[in-house]
Structure formats: C-alpha cells, structure tokens
C-alpha cells in the first residue's frame, strides 16, 4: 500500500534508521565492555526486541509486570522489571519468576517485606536488585545513607538472591550542554562503583552494577566497574534527544503521519488529526527553549529537513486535534499530509496499536505495540 493511502494519524517506523540505532548502541556496549539490556518500554514490540537480542543484547528491561508477562509469553526469558516493586504485585511477580528469569527491584523495606513474605510462603528465592538514586531524585535509596547499607544487608541476608545495584540518571534530560551531560554520565558511573565498593567493604557481595539512560550512554567515555547498561530510547531517538545534542534528526526512527482536517481560507490556523492522543503532550527539553511547539513538522522528510517554527509551529493539541500556526507557502488543503517529529517517542508510541514499518516511501510491514495493563 502506498504511504498516501494510509489512514491517519499513523505511527511510522523507518526500519533502516531503527537498525542503525540498534547496531550503534550495541557497538558502544561492546566497546565499553558492558552487557546491553535495552529498556523495551520505548517500543513495546517483540519484533524490535528480537532485533535487539539479534544484535547482542543480553536480556531486556521492562517497566510493568504486564510487559513482563507479555514478553515472557513472546519467548523472552530474561527480564528485569526496573520499577520499584509495588508490594501488591509481590505474589504475581514471584509466580512469574518461577517460570523464567525475572529480576525485581526494591528501594523500600515495605516492598522487601512483601517480597520476603511471598518468598517464605512459596519457598522461592526472588532475584533482587537495589535501586539507587544517583541524582535524579525520583526513586532509589540515597547511597550515602545508613538506610542504603541496611537495605543491601537485608536483601543479602534474606530469602533472596542479591544480584546487584541499579540506577537511572533521569537528570540527564535536564542537561543544558554537552559537558554537563558528560559530567552527569560520569557521576552515574562513579556513584554506583563507589557504592558497590562501600557494600563490598561491609562484607556484602555485589555481582551486578546496572546503569543507563540514552543521553548518558551516548556520552560516557568509559564504564570500568559497571556490568550492564539499560538505555531504551536510543532505538528510536526523538526531538528531545536531538535538542539535547544526543543524536541528529536523521537518527530519529519514528514519526507521526497526520492529515489536514480543517483550514479556513485566508487563516494561518491549520487543523490536523494528530492531537494529544497521537503525539502525547510531552514538551521535551523545554529548559533549552529550542522548540516552542508540541513537536516539529518535516518540510522534507527525505532530507530530514524540519520547518523552522517561524514558518510552521504545532501550537497546541487537544484530544484528537492538532492546531498548527502556519506562515509557510502551501495550499494547506484538507487531506494534505504532514509528517511530525515528536518530542518523546516512548510516549508517542504508547498511543498507538501498531507501527507502520516503512523503508523510504514504501510500507513493508506492521508490528503490534503491546501497550496494555494488568
Ligand atoms: C529505570 C530505567 N532504566 C532505563 C531507562 C531507559 O532510559 P532512556 O529512556 O533514557 O533510554 C529508564 C527510562 O525512563 C528507566 O526509568
């Protein structure tokens, strides 16, 4: 089917760019001598996960138990659920871990208590990782605190397999320039290596040290002491990563195809069918002030050329409407197509049921997106 016949809004995945992105992060992991365990929350696609494993990834990372169940059913038998365990899931998580390698994350005595109770009830020994805060201040124990050492000791002495410590430098998305990003990447590594040494000095074995966000893993120069990395967004990249300087627009694999659905003659307002339920309302790296609108529109996709926002700005989104402010030439007739580069590919992909897989202007496949919940 030609791209022009596709109903909109549609999520387009450029397979050649995807494959280049997957190969390039795997090469980086090999060069840095760490295992790559990609976060599949970005794509939620068994097809893409298979490609990642094909490139050399060792296991996957998921963000919900539902994702773990779906990917286990699709044949992936080594998963890390990289969210602090909600105690209410202890029973289901231990049950799934009986059938495969499922690695669980905790950062609280409450979650550990719930998991310990389930382990004792079933005789299982869940694999546990301790979540550490390396500066994002979202979740994780403060590695300098006595509570962190105490949690590690409780895991090591409990009915668990203590597999290691894990962090995610979410603060990398607030960096304002390349040197700042490099400093955050080095900090992510150094905090974890010295916390592991601290635990080892206290008699606790720490086999694994898992780190990684896309911005830090694209920037870091060495990873001595680290065992694995878990970037996810790198599979697609997006406008935010391009603004941060982590990639070029040419590396962005996912775009949204939309139709003009309303335009009054003489008006500079043009309405499309890509609203918030297509693009998501993520505004990306707002602190950099590089993009005002809700994504950017391609002037020429083949040349990866975006309209300057002075000519075309995605001014606002409502549920199913996108409002563009247009000062560029063009008929802007109802039925015209535009291609949009979204701020945040993970959230955009999560709005759709499938990828329309394309090579150039040709549609070559459709891959489902597993985006449900328990
Ligand atoms: C715990 C954890 N690990 C890894 C990642 C992947 O990071 P990125 O999306 O920057 O690739 C995320 C993303 O939110 C995360 O929360």
Residue 42 CA to ligand 1 centre (angstroms): 9
Whether 140 lines ligand 1, by a CB cut-off of 6 Å, is no
Token pair for residue 251? 């590396």
Task: Report pLDDT for 2.
Answer: 84
Residue 179 CA to ligand 1 centre (angstroms): 21
pLDDT tens over the chain, length 374 residues:
788 889 999 999 999 999 999 999 999 999 999 999 999 999 999 999 999 999 999 999 999 999 999 999 999 999 999 999 999 999 999 999 999 999 999 999 999 999 999 999 999 999 999 999 999 999 999 999 999 999 999 999 999 999 999 999 999 999 999 999 999 999 999 999 999 999 999 999 999 999 999 999 999 999 999 999 999 999 999 999 999 999 999 999 999 999 999 999 889 999 999 999 999 999 999 999 999 999 999 999 999 999 999 999 999 999 999 999 999 987 799 999 999 999 999 999 999 999 999 998 899 999 999 999 98
Whether 230 lines ligand 1, by a CB cut-off of 6 Å, is yes
Strands 322-326 and 269-272, bridge-based pairing? antiparallel
Give Dmax over CA atoms of the chain in angstroms. 74
Q: Where are the beta strands (DSSP E) in the chain?
A: 10-14, 35-36, 60-62, 78-84, 101-106, 127-131, 161-166, 208-211, 228-229, 254-263, 269-272, 296-300, 305-306, 312-317, 322-326, 337-341, 354-359, 362-368
Whether 51 lines ligand 1, by a CB cut-off of 6 Å, is no
Task: Report pLDDT for 200.
Answer: 98
Whether 232 lines ligand 1, by a CB cut-off of 6 Å, is yes
Predicted TM-score (pTM) of the model is: 0.97
Whether 82 lines ligand 1, by a CB cut-off of 6 Å, is yes
Whether 325 lines ligand 1, by a CB cut-off of 6 Å, is no
Residue nearest ligand 1's atom 2 by CA? 168
Residue 283 CA to ligand 1 centre (angstroms): 18
Residue from 184, 216, 229, 231 to probe ligand 1 pocket by mutation (most atoms less than 8 Å from CB): 231
Whether 171 lines ligand 1, by a CB cut-off of 6 Å, is no
Whether 345 lines ligand 1, by a CB cut-off of 6 Å, is no
Residue nearest ligand 1's atom 16 by CA? 168
Residue 229 CA to ligand 1 centre (angstroms): 10
Domains 16-234 and 246-343 equal at CATH topology level: no
Sequence spans of domains, the chain: 16-234, 246-343
Whether 168 lines ligand 1, by a CB cut-off of 6 Å, is yes
Task: Report pLDDT for 105.
Answer: 98
Q: What is the Cα–Cα distance from 211 to 209, expressed in whole angstroms? A: 7
Task: Report pLDDT for 329.
Answer: 86
Task: Report pLDDT for 238.
Answer: 98
Residue 40 CA to ligand 1 centre (angstroms): 9
Residue 39 CA to ligand 1 centre (angstroms): 6
Q: What is the Cα–Cα distance from 199 to 190, expressed in whole angstroms? A: 14
Write out the H or E segment, with its range, that includes residue 198: helix 178-201
CB 54 within 8 A of CB 18: no
Tell the CATH topology of 246-343. Answer: Lyase, Ornithine Decarboxylase; Chain A, domain 1 (2.40.37)
Task: Report pLDDT for 331.
Answer: 75
Whether 213 lines ligand 1, by a CB cut-off of 6 Å, is yes
Q: What is the Cα–Cα distance from 226 to 242, expressed in whole angstroms? A: 27
Among the atoms of ligand 1, which is closest to the Cα of residue 232? 11
CB 323 within 8 A of CB 276: no
Tell the CATH topology of 16-234. Answer: TIM Barrel (3.20.20)
Task: Please identify which residue in the block is written with the tokens 């006595």.
Answer: 146
Among the atoms of ligand 1, which is closest to the Cα of residue 216? 10
Task: Report pLDDT for 55.
Answer: 98
Token pair for residue 74? 């699709």
Q: What is the Cα–Cα distance from 66 to 27, expressed in whole angstroms? A: 30
Residue nearest ligand 1's atom 8 by CA? 213
Whether 233 lines ligand 1, by a CB cut-off of 6 Å, is yes
């Amino acid at each position: 089917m030609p791209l022009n016949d596709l109903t909109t809004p549609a999520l387009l995945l450029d397979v050649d760019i995807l494959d280049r992105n997957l190969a390039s992060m795997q090469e980086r992991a090999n060069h840095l001598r760490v295992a790559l365990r990609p976060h599949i929350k970005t794509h939620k696609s068994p097809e893409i996960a298979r490609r990642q494993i094909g490139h050399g990834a060792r296991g996957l990372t998921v963000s919900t138990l539902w994702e773990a169940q779906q990917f286990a059913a699709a044949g992936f038998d080594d998963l890390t659920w990289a969210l602090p365990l909600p105690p209410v899931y202890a029973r289901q998580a231990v049950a799934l871990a009986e059938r495969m390698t499922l690695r669980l994350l905790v950062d609280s005595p409450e979650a550990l208590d719930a998991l310990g109770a389930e382990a004792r009830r079933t005789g299982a020994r869940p694999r546990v990782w301790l979540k550490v805060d390396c500066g994002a201040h979202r979740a994780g124990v403060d590695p300098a605190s006595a509570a962190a050492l105490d949690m590690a000791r409780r895991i090591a002495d409990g009915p668990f397999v203590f597999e290691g410590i894990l962090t995610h430098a979410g603060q990398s998305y607030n960096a304002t320039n390349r040197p700042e990003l490099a400093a955050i990447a080095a900090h992510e590594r150094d905090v974890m290596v010295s916390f592991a040494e601290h635990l080892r000095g206290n008699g606790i074995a720490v086999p694994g040290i898992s780190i990684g966000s896309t911005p830090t893993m694209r920037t870091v120069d060495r990873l001595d002491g680290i065992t694995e990395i878990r970037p996810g967004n790198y599979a697609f990249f997006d406008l935010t990563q391009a603004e941060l300087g982590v990639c070029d627009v040419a590396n962005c694999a996912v775009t949204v195809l939309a139709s003009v659905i309303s335009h009054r003659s003489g008006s500079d307002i043009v309405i499309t069918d890509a609203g918030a339920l297509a693009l998501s309302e993520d505004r990306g790296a707002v602190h950099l002030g590089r993009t005002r609108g809700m994504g950017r529109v391609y002037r020429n996709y083949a040349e990866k050329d975006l309209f300057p926002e002075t000519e075309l700005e995605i001014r606002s989104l409502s549920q199913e409407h996108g409002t563009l402010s247009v000062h560029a030439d063009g008929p802007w007739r109802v039925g015209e197509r535009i291609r949009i580069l979204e701020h945040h590919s993970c959230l955009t992909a999560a709005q759709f049921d499938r990828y329309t897989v394309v090579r150039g202007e040709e549609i070559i496949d459709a891959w489902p997106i597993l985006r449900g919940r328990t």
